[in-house]
Amino acid sequence: MITFRSLASTVALTSALVVAGIANAQDYDLVISNGRVMDPETLYDGVANVGISDGRIVKSIKEPSTSAEEIDASIPPQGGN
């Protein structure tokens, strides 16, 4: 049997997840995905995505994220020498 308390908790949790999803609808201005990332501070060297906001690198991330623009670094440029 569903109690008022469990129903209220479920509604609150669902609302929080929806609000979080809306707030993160666009995480960054630009994401450079699938590029080699080297961070000398943490000694990280691997393939990751880089989130950029307001012209600054915000975060190196493994999971996909949303942005106004995305550059896929795994695709070689066309027409180059």
CATH class of 26-74: mainly beta
| pLDDT beneath 50: ranges in the chain | 4, 6-24
In sign, the C-alpha dihedral spanning 76, 28, 24, 43 is positive
Q: Kindly report whether the global pTM for this prediction surpasses the value 0.95.
A: no
% pLDDT > 70, the chain: 67
Phi, psi of 66 (to 5 degrees): -105, 150
pLDDT at 54: 93
- Say how many Å lie between the first and final Cα of the chain, rounded: 69
pLDDT at 21: 42
